Structure 1
Amino acid sequence: MRAIVFFIIILNSINVFSQYNKDIYLYEKNNNVGFVDNNFKVIVKPIYEELGGFQEKFFGEYSIFKSDGKYGVLDLKGNQIITPLYTYLGNTNSPKFFYFKRNKKYGLVNLKGEEIIKPMFDYISALTDKGKSVIVKKDGKYGLVSINGKNITEFKYENISGDFDSKVYPFRKDNKYGYINRKGKEIIKPIYNHAQAFNDGFAIVSIDNKYGIINKKGEILIEPKYQNISYQYSFFHDHQFNVNSKLYYLKEGNKIGLMDKNLKVIILPTYNQIGNFNEGFAFVKKDNKYGFINEEGKLVIPLIYADADTFSEGLAPVVKNGKWGYIDKLGDIAIDFQFMGCVKPFFNGLAVYRNRNFKSSKAHYVGDKCGYIDLKGNIKIGLIFRNAQSFRNGVAKTEDEYSEYLINKNNKKIVLKSSEIEIMEVEGN
């Protein structure tokens, strides 16, 4: 192996941005912040006190900014869309509306800077019904109002929840849960200890600490008999997998099973753990051994490993004899068991490798040294980082003792945040 020098790139030019929100990264310079994309191009100059709101990102094509103590909104080209007039501005669940606070009350402003709901509420929770209505709080109680602030329900609920597409909403009244529709009519009486939002026509509810499933008529489809039911899409750390797997995870007697989207139990609660599905597979744990199941619930890779993680790019990390390696979907060894500490699933042809001198696990320890390996198990970037995230669209976030970086696969990096800037060397092929 040979040493390759990373070049520190100075961020001092602005470019038109054409990427998605997930490819934008916050960076600091001279105690101000800006945005850079995954091509290391500055899309917003570092002239702001804050950017991006809570998530420090663009939401859609817009981002909250703070300048001279006031908040406004800018677009992907850095143009100010809403003048910084507000002492507080926050993202809603729609990129076209923002809630603001004035005199301890909340209102709603659109991209034209029009205050479509005056500051009259204690809190604005979420836009629903594709932006036609808003869940708000007033005088300690929740209600549903139209986008122009007209009451749809009385303010009599302890809570109402929903997302942007919701047209039926769980509510809590007298510490019991029921459902209202978009017109504010109570269509399912409050008889549940807990109730979740409807998903594909079904909702998870609980009675006497036992969970079941109902339809929008309130009819019980799965009797409340489980210790827990959770509805999950596959995901892993900072990456959202694009998968179609929609399964219910059933918990009973501290064992996990699965039910498909048609409410058919495909695995009785027999496993200690079932991971999230990706590429048609999920790891399972039973009696301290790991294997893999498919989406039909069949055990396709036997329970022979000491640990395992999610399939990605055709390979899954597994542990044998205290070291990590990778297997393919047939269960054959693709990368030999040689890594002590931890390895992660592959993204963009690279996987994070965390080295430590004690038992291998999926855990992240402060003392880990991190680098990257390729699909053949070769070390492409040496163990120089204190922390490292998976690659996404050609770049990854890393950090050492002094700085946070954005690195690309051509072994260049930029400083996102630093207490001390210095040239680094890494090992590679």
Structure 2
Amino acid sequence: MKQLLSFFLLVLSLTTANAQSLTKYSSQGKIGFKNTSGEIVVPAQYDEVYEIGGDKYYCVELNHEKGVLDKKGKVILEPKYSFIWGFSEGLFSVEIYGEERKRGFADTTGKVVIPLIYQDAALFSEGICAVMKDNKKWGFIDKTGKEITEFKYDKLSSFSDGVAFGELAGKYGLIDKQGKEIVSLHPDGLEGFTKTFLDNVEKGKNTGHFIFDDYQSFSENLGAVKLKEKYGFIDKSGAIVIPIIYDRVESFYKGTAIVQLDKKMKIIDKTGKTIKDLKYSGFGFSREDVMNVKLDGKYGRIESATGKEIFPPVYSALQRFQKDMTAWAQLDGKWGMINKSGKVIVPFKYNEKDYLWDSDNLYKCRVDNKFCFFDEINKKELTEVKYDSIGKFKDGFVVVRKDNKFGYVDMLAKELVSPNYRYARAFSEGLGTALNDKNWLFVNKNGEEFPLIYNGVSNYNNVGSFHDGLCWVFFNDKAGYVNKKGKLVIALEYDAVWSFDGGIAKVQLDSKIGCIDLVGNEVIPIQYDKIDIDYNGIITAVLDGKEFYFNSKGQKTEKPKEDH
């Protein structure tokens, strides 16, 4: 009877889990979620979606603001933050931009539990977090926001094994969870260092100074430190327990550590005794119980604790582990993917692979002269290897080219418009600009086309993209601007024009340049030889070699002060 009950409970748990499983879907360049029955749970409204918090949550972006959903689609944090840096120990690190960026922490109920008052912040570890105040100095706080240390440090690490590293004046020392400096800064400064002092350090004497040049976080009660270009290990009292003699070291794992000395690698125990000599010339990324190693320009993998070879150095490149312990590798000039044990899970067939930023874990991968979209999470091609080129995502879509024709693809690799245009520009402000066999047109996020014809009769010679609601157009060597309905709102009277930015655009007439506003009024007269607009909206105009300065409204201003 108990076995039968257990069976039904298992079936129920699996059914419940499957019912709660969500899959992403796309519509109009946005992402939402459906359940396994295909029912919409979260409407397609987000511009970006990615996992945070060890795959427990989704960070979502809506209208340039970020929030958090759980894996059932429930809103945890409303999309109102400028950025969400991560999730640790039950708290989300959140940020809002105003006149200055400010960071704080919210819990899984959506409540802000540590106010957004800090200029920068790390993530929590062992109940403590490093944060930076307006004085540009770092200190530690606990989960109630209580300050554990003074805010005087140039840098602070996360806690590991009950201790953290702090930086003062370019040197590092230890701090405990009560905020006590285990290795403290010398009151006379670093100028007081002497050869005798350094000799005492190397002999393992704890002198009580912030003295180290670099560090690695503690593991198994030992931390790696660097001094005079060499590495060794200290304990939590700050005493050097393994001499600072190595060229490179890795943290301890299961009682051993891999070190390198004079281009030779070996495994040592916590006394510094050599356990095993290794044949490799160097080591790379490590995670969990495995490490990538190098020999004769090739990469392989070993067990970190024992040095046992998992697979020999055969790859010309072996990259950082993914969260599922898979990795990209290169063999005979081709890229593929392997798992933790070295089993090939994606064939070595790609000549090139590049992550597509602002997409949802998509890569573009090339085989010979053709590209496909590749899903790194599920390790599979989402399209055929058929495109001549794949551009960059913008406004939810990317321009693709096939057989010298252009089209649009969304963030889940779904074609909005198959490649059939003679040319296409990236989406901007909800519309793409394309050229078919006859004329220019706008394409919306449903794939619907809106022909763009001057006076309803003649084709434009060239059309740009939208900025501030307007798009430049050329007809018979004269330029103006149209709105999103295709109506000409600024007349075709200029020899050259630029896109609007912040409500202002450069225009050229008879070899002279000025600026106009969104209704075509001159805000800077068209009389200058050259005009530059910087990222702060400050405009520099040049006439006969003399510079004049304007703000974004076209008002004259003083020359901006240079940043030092």
Q: TM-score range by the shorter chain?
A: 0.5 to 0.7
If the length of structure 1 is used for normalisation, what is the TM-score? 0.61
Give the Cα separation in 2 of the matches to 1:291 and 1:32: 35
DSSP 3-state at the match of 2:157 = strand
Counterpart code for 2:293:
L
**1:14-413 correspondence to structure 2 within 5 Å:** 22-29=56-63, 32-48=65-81, 50-52=82-84, 56-66=85-95, 69=100, 70-93=102-125, 96-129=128-161, 132-153=162-183, 154-162=209-217, 166-223=220-277, 225-233=279-287, 246-261=289-304, 262-265=306-309, 267-273=311-317, 287=332, 306-307=349-350, 341-342=371-372, 344=374, 347=377, 351-353=381-383, 355-358=385-388, 366=392, 384-385=408-409, 388=412, 401-402=427-428
Tell me the C-alpha RMSD between the 2 structures: 4.8
Give the Cα separation in 1 of the matches to 2:123 and 2:344: 44
DSSP 3-state at the match of 1:115 = coil
Give the Cα separation in 2 of the matches to 1:158 and 1:61: 33
In the alignment, what sits opposite 1:424? 446
- Give ranges in structure 1 of 5+ residues lacking alignment: 13-18, 234-243, 310-318, 324-339, 372-382, 391-399, 405-419
- Give ranges in structure 2 of 5+ residues lacking alignment: 1-24, 31-42, 47-52, 184-208, 353-364, 401-406, 415-425, 431-441, 449-564
Alignment check: 8 A CA contact 1:33 1:46 kept: yes
Give the Cα separation in 2 of the matches to 1:206 and 1:425: 58
DSSP 3-state at the match of 2:272 = coil
Counterpart code for 2:248:
H
Instruction: Flag the 1:151–1:249 CA change in 2: closer, same or farther, 3 A.
Output: same
DSSP 3-state at the match of 2:133 = strand
Give the Cα separation in 1 of the matches to 2:344 and 2:222: 39
Instruction: Flag the 1:90–1:79 CA change in 2: closer, same or farther, 3 A.
Output: same
The offset of 1:320, in angstroms, is: 12
Give the Cα separation in 2 of the matches to 1:263 and 1:137: 34
Alignment check: 8 A CA contact 1:290 1:307 kept: yes
Counterpart code for 1:51:
F
Instruction: Flag the 1:292–1:157 CA change in 2: closer, same or farther, 3 A.
Output: closer
DSSP 3-state at the match of 2:117 = strand
Greater relative contact order (CA < 8 Å, ≥ 6 in sequence): 1
The offset of 1:214, in angstroms, is: 2.2
Counterpart code for 1:144:
L
In the alignment, what sits opposite 2:439? none
Counterpart code for 1:25:
C
Alignment check: 8 A CA contact 2:213 2:227 kept: yes
Give the Cα separation in 2 of the matches to 1:152 and 1:34: 39
Alignment check: 8 A CA contact 1:249 1:259 kept: yes
Instruction: Flag the 1:81–1:422 CA change in 2: closer, same or farther, 3 A.
Output: farther
The number of residue pairs the alignment matches comes to 334
Alignment check: 8 A CA contact 1:354 1:370 kept: no
Instruction: Flag the 1:353–1:113 CA change in 2: closer, same or farther, 3 A.
Output: same
DSSP 3-state at the match of 2:266 = strand
Report % sequence identity: 22
Counterpart code for 2:244:
P
After superposition, what is the alpha-carbon deviation per residue over 1:231-280, rounded to whole angstroms, capped at 9, x for unaligned?
534xxxxxxxxxx8x43333111123343353233544344456769999
Give the Cα separation in 1 of the matches to 2:90 and 2:274: 42
Give the Cα separation in 1 of the matches to 2:382 and 2:351: 15
DSSP 3-state at the match of 2:144 = coil
The offset of 1:294, in angstroms, is: 8.7
